[in-house]
Structure formats: C-alpha cells, structure tokens
A and B are shown apart, each in its own frame.
Chain A
Amino acid sequence: MRKVYVYKGFERFWHWTQATLIIFLALTGFEVHGTFSILGFEHAARFHRVGSWMLIGLIIFAIFWHVVTGEWRQYIPTTKKLMAQIRFYGVGMFKGEKHPMHKTEVKKLNPLQRIVYLGFKLVLVPITVVSGIIYMFHKTIDRNEIVVVSDISLESVALWHTLGAILLMVFLVVHIYMTTTGHTPTSNIRAMVTGYEDLEDDEEAEQTAEQEETPKVVLN
C-alpha cells in the first residue's frame, strides 16, 4: 500500500461545499415545499434563494475546474467491469472479495461511480438547477414587468424541481453509505477530507490485474 494524493485542494473544497449546500438547500427547500417546518416558510424561502445562488456559483467554478484540469475525463462512462462492480456491491463484498477495480490517482472512479456521477452531473443537478432558476425567475404576466417565463406553468416547474430534489436525496443516502465500502469504513471519507488515500501499489495492482483480466487484454 502507498499513500497517494488523490483529491486535490479545490476538488475537496468543491465536494464539501457542494455537500453542505445541497443538504442545506434540501432542508430549506422541503420546508418551502411544505414537507416539514423548521425555520418557518419566510426564512426557509429566503435562505433557499441565497443558498441556491451560492451553489450556482460553485457549480460554475467546478465546471471550469473540470474542463481546465481535464478531470472531466474521469467521468467518461464505461460498461467494462460495470457488472463486476455491481456484483461486488451485491455479493462480492459480503464474501470478502477484493474491489474489482483498482483505484489510482489517474483513475479515481469505478465504472458504477462513473455512470452514477455522470448522471448526477448531467441529469440530476441540471434538472434541479435549471428548474430552480426558472422557478426563481418565474413571473406571470404583469403590466409593468417583463415576462421571463409565462408559458411554463409554475406547477410543472415545481414538479421538476421537487423530482430533482427527491432524486438528489436518494443519491445522498446511497452516496454517504457507499463511502463506507472502502478498504476500511472511513478510508474514503478520510481521503475526501485529507486528499490522501492508501492505494494498492502498482505492482500489486498489476498482479491483480493480470490475474483478473482476460488473456486478450493482456495481449493487447
């Protein structure tokens, strides 16, 4: 095992800020939705609006970071070993099998993570953010105001926004749980906090890879 610097400073800042904001927006958002009452509707609505702008700002920075550093390539989806990964979570890890994927600083994500995170970034967040922005600027026609959105009913905007929020919450639950499936239950969280993670040595990894991979791949 070797200690590797996997998550860069901005990456960690982005991750935790986003996590805080999403949880905060969920609490205030579902209060606005009427699901429960903590802060009171007025405060919840105000806080939600402020938090949403912060998240939008953060997302802009994050997109910039992904593009500039080329980290977006981490999310290119693959079906290779996807089933193996799913099988691992469903069966393998109970039997004490090893992770089917070898994690390196260059290849941080397993195939399942790739697909799920890509979905998070390209579907879940856009649905919620875009519907949220439309919600925020939703104006019905008024003599003195410019009509930004009038053809889309607030009801449908709210529906999409709520749907996005619900799916994000499901993601949150599963995502938090999955962090405990590393080498030790806290190793993944530790890595996202410090940036460093104990990864298998390259030789070890190669050995495992050789054992696992099909001859054809080896030939290549």
Chain B
Amino acid sequence: MKKTIGVVIVLFIGILAIINIVNTENEYYNLKLEELKQEYAIKPVSSIDHSKLPELQRDFETPQEVTEACIGCHTERHKEVMKSAHWNWERVSYIEGRGVKAAGKKNVLNNFCLGAQSNELACAKCHIGFGMTNDEFDFENARNVDCMVCHDNSEEYQKGSSTAGYPDRTVNLTKVAQCVGAPDKINCGSCHFFSGGGNNVKHGDLEVALLNTDRQVDVHMAANGMDMSCVECHTAENHRIKGRLYSVSSTDTKRATCEQCHSNTPHFDDILNRHNAKVSCQACHIPDYAKENATKMAWYWSEAGKLRDGEPYKEFNSDSTIEYQSIKGTFVWAKNVKPDYMWFNGTADHYLLGDTVQSFPVQMNTLNGAHNDPDSKIIPVKIHVGDQIYDTKYKTLIQPKLFAESKGDSAYWKDFNWETAVAAGMQRVGLPYSGEYEFVETEMYWPVNHMVAPADQAVSCAECHTRSEDGRLVQLSGFYLPGRDYNKFLDGLGALLFFGALFGVFVHAAIRVLISIRKRKYEMKVIDYENKFPNQDK
C-alpha cells in the first residue's frame, strides 16, 4: 500500500515535471535576429567624395545655384523629388467615402498650429523647397528643390525661421554642397523631430534624444545598439520614401513596417506569432513613448490671447516645457506615456478644409479599422486633444492666419484678434466665414512606431489579458479577449454550482458523521460487552 501511494505521488510529480519540461521557454539563439544585426552593422560608405568634385569648387551665392549644380550631375533626380509629397505637400489617392482626392498639408488641418495655409512664410521651414511665401509657389520649378536639407552631412545647413524655406543666412553653402551624402538622422529630424513648433511636440516618439540614445529608449537607433538611421527602414528608392504618416496620409501603401525585416513570424513562440494577425508589433514592443523628453498631449487654443501689460508672454513648467503661451494657448505635456490603442487597417481619413463637422470631438484624422476587419490590427496611438476655432454657422473648422512679420497684417500672433485673423485666413483658403466662431474640442491620432524597447521590456501578456481597469486594452470592445472578458451569468452560475456542490457535500458528510458518532456510541457498548465476555463470540 505504502509503495503504491509512493508510486502515485511520484506519478503526480512526474506529470507536473513533464509539463514544466515541455513548457520550458525557448532560449535558442535567434539566428534571424543575428543575421539582421550583421546586415545593419555594416554601414554604407559613399563611393564619391563631393568635396573633390570640380563643379563644387566655387562660391554659391544662392541655394538655387547649389540645386543647379546637383542637377548638373544627377540629371533626373529632381523629377523624382518633385513627385513626392515632401515637395507637393499633397498626395492624390483614393480615400474611402471621398473617392480620389488630393490630401496633404495644403488642405488638411491639425490641432497643433492648425494649418499651413496663409502661414507659409513660417511653415515652409519644413518644405523641401525655396521661396514658398504663399499659395502661389511654383511647383514646376526645379531650381527651388532643396536638396541640401535632406542630404547635408556636415550639420551646417539649416533653414531659416520665417524665410519661406530658404536656408539661414549664416549657412556656408559651399561647405554644404561639398559634404552631401545619404540622409542622416538629423536631416529627417530637423523637421520631423520639431514638428508642431518644438522638440517632440507632435509625434512623441520622434525627438532629438534619438540622435544619441541608448537601447532602453530605442533599440534600433541606439548609439550602443545598431545605430540605425531613419532611411535604413524608410528606404527611398528613387526618392520614393517608404513610410506613411497618418496625420496627412490616407492609404495603406508603401508603409514602412517591422515585418519588412523581422518577418511576420519573428518569435519562437507560436502563440506570440499568432498574435500578429490582430496585434501590431508596435503594440507590444513600444510599451511607452516620450521616454526622454515630454511630448504635447493637449493644446487649448481657446485660452490664447491673454496679455501682460499689452504684451504676449510665456509660462513654463518645472521641466522647462511651456505651459502657457499667449499666441498659442495652454498646453499639457507628458513623459513616459502609455499609448492608447486602436484598431487600424492602414487607411485614414482627415478633416479637409471646408468639411462640415458631423460630431464632436472633431477627429482631425480618422484611423480606419475595426476588430472584425481582417486588415486591422491593434496599434499604439498617441491621442492629442485640444480645442480650436470653429465656425458655428457653417460648421467648419477655421484656418486662421497666424503668422505675419509685423503687426497690422491680420495675423493672430501679432494682433491677437481672432476676428481679423479668421477673416484673413478663410479668405485665403477660399472658404466662407459667417463671423460667428467658438472653440470646439478636437482629437488627433498619431500612430506610435518608434522608440522600440528591448525585447525583455515588451508589454507582458497580463497587461492586456486582465480584468483590471488598468488593462491596456480596456478601451477596445466588441471582441472576446481571454483573461479580460467573461460571461457574467456563466461565472455566477459556475460559482453557485461549485460552492453549492461543496456545501451539499459538507451537509451530507456532516449528517453521516453525526450518525456514525451515534452509532459508535452504540458499537462501543457492544465492544465493551465483547471484552467482558471474550469467549462468548467463539
């Protein structure tokens, strides 16, 4: 008996041991990843040194002369550039519900500085051209293509502020022309890190810290990691740059994806790989963004315009971010932000100038997607909220004129008069303005794609698969998420049955015990009797 009990116990432990052994997490050497690392460890070396080219041994008076010199050898490149959205500030594409439509900075609004129209002089700092002072820019003139802003490797080049896209007057154009090459992080970053008027304002996952950072912040761009530049993922064959920024883009084409290098089955674990059908890589591998510097989470234009002694002013937070600025309003910043999560199928719609607002808060860009859409995946998103100016009668968002060089030119940032700023802005974009305005709430969605954390810091299973209100996917509904969702009725019934059975069993056992106690009293008498007369039994 003892032996068999021993065997049974050994069997139990054995089964549990087998379960554990079979379950041991794979710690195989990840050859796929090593291969990638090897591939990207080799940094391309330019086959040409522009400082030795005779064509560039001269003084350049204007940036256009540099462009002419570029085109002199790279005879067809400007044509590629002039087809790009970086140049045209719009892209013609099919947008669901609208048909084929051009959308881009020319006609899309946002809830940061609102829109580029009528403010080109300042906004063109991030246009790859020279001389965009208003909406009459000549998009056919190749001389105005700014090659240097992307290809300067000397860190000498910078665009001037409010110079319509021309470089700063201090830039030594000859030096820049002789130091061109493949774009580095700072070339992309000079616009994409500072969009919205300051470092990390818009994206939250793209900022100056990425120029020199560690693996904790971004495994790809880390100086002590692969030190990858933007264009290693956002490849740009014939100046067709891979990657979609859905604040202006609409289609699921030419996206830069994790899968293009890592494949869609990058894990050893099949369950994790299968998640990829519905969950984007980013959702787990970017547990939080704005890891180094704060990003803007809200912008309330309605509070703009307060003056001190008739002058605009700024108020700062303790981390030197701006809390209030007379020309812009009140801001909310945040660091180490846990993303929101949304279903996204790669297509988006935008509030285009002139659209009638249907509902509030107004979605500046709508990320299309749903749990039952086979193309949709859960992605991490930065949601930027705020309020901005709105025509109550025509139900349209307003493009005000914000920037001008001097007072009296209707610009809000100089005159602090919404009436004239709105009238001037709306006139420029050719839309009616009723004269009645108010501030309405708006939301803008920024997919978070950068600041990928080291693998061991990825979002753990239980951060989504939990009943907790803090679960990351608590906002997403309509589908069954194991660990989060359950049938309340069935669980209630289950508890009732289980504990009911336990109760019933205890009652039954109790009755038996009581009866046996009674019986034992009786039996004990019998035994006593037997002891007294031991021989009687035989």
Contacts and interface: CB of A to CB of B under 8 A. Distances in A.
A140 B277 contact: yes
Given A173-B502, A177-B505, A190-B1, A33 B486 contact: yes
A78 interface: no
A97 B19 CA distance: 45
Contacts, number: 129
A153 B8 contact: no
Contact of B465 (A17, A41, A159, A194): A41
Contacts of B25: 46
A142 B374 contact: yes
B23 A163 contact: no
A41 B461 CA distance: 7
A154 B480 contact: yes
A25 to B, nearest CB: 10
Interface in A199-219: none
A13 B277 contact: no
Interface in B273-291: 274, 276-278
B19 A42 contact: no
B460 to A, nearest CB: 6
A94 B509 contact: no
A120 interface: no
B467 interface: yes
B19 A40 contact: no
B505 A145 contact: no
A94 B19 contact: no
Contacts of B94: none
B278 to A, nearest CB: 6
Interface stretch (B10-18, B119-127, B230-238, B449-457): B10-18
Interface stretch (B63-71, B440-448, B511-519): B511-519
Contacts of A141: 277, 374
Nearest to A135: B482
Nearest to A167: B497
B462 A155 contact: no
A153 B480 contact: yes
A128 interface: no
Contacts of A46: 23, 25, 271
Interface string A145-185: 10000000111001100110011011001100100100000
Contacts of A54: 15, 18-19, 22
Contacts of A163: 490, 494
Contact of A42 (B1, B375, B462): B462
A20 B12 contact: yes
A24 interface: yes
Contact of A47 (B5, B19, B374, B487): B19
Given A24-B19, A166-B497, A140 B278 contact: yes
A50 interface: yes
A142 B490 contact: no
A143 interface: yes
Interface residues of B, number: 52
A94 B515 contact: yes
B19 A41 contact: no
Nearest to B497: A170
A99 interface: no
A70 interface: no
B498 A32 contact: no
Interface string A17-52: 100110010000000111100001110011101110
A42 B494 contact: no
Scoring B25, B278, B486 by chain A CB atoms within 10 A of each residue's CB, the highest score goes to B486
Interface string B410-434: 0000000000000000000000000
B493 A166 contact: yes
B455 to A, nearest CB: 14
A40 B463 CA distance: 11
A32 B482 CA distance: 7
A158 B505 CA distance: 29
A79 interface: no
Contacts of B5: 193
A103 interface: no
A220 interface: no
B19 A50 contact: yes
Contacts of A51: 19
A116 B423 CA distance: 82
Contact of A34 (B15, B18, B467, B502): B467
Contact of A20 (B11, B277, B515): B11
Contact of B498 (A47, A53, A169, A195): A169
B466 interface: yes
Contacts of A154: 479-480, 482
When A and B form their complex, which 8 residue pairs have the shortest distance between CB atoms, in order from nearest? A142-B277, A166-B494, A155-B480, A41-B462, A42-B461, A177-B505, A173-B501, A141-B374
Given A93-B512, A177-B505, 14 more contacts: A20-B11, A24-B16, A34-B483, A94-B512, A94-B515, A140-B278, A145-B277, A155-B479, A155-B485, A158-B482, A158-B485, A163-B494, A177-B509, A190-B1
Interface of A: 13, 16-17, 20-21, 24, 32-35, 40-42, 45-47, 49-51, 53-54, 89, 93-94, 96, 139-145, 153-155, 158-159, 162-163, 166-167, 169-170, 173-174, 177, 180, 190, 193-195
Interface of B: 1, 4-5, 8, 11-12, 15-16, 18-20, 22-23, 25, 264, 271, 274, 276-278, 374-375, 460-462, 465-467, 479-480, 482-487, 490-491, 493-494, 497-498, 501-502, 504-505, 508-509, 511-512, 515, 519
10 contacts: A34-B466, A41-B461, A41-B466, A45-B482, A93-B512, A94-B512, A142-B276, A145-B277, A166-B498, A177-B509
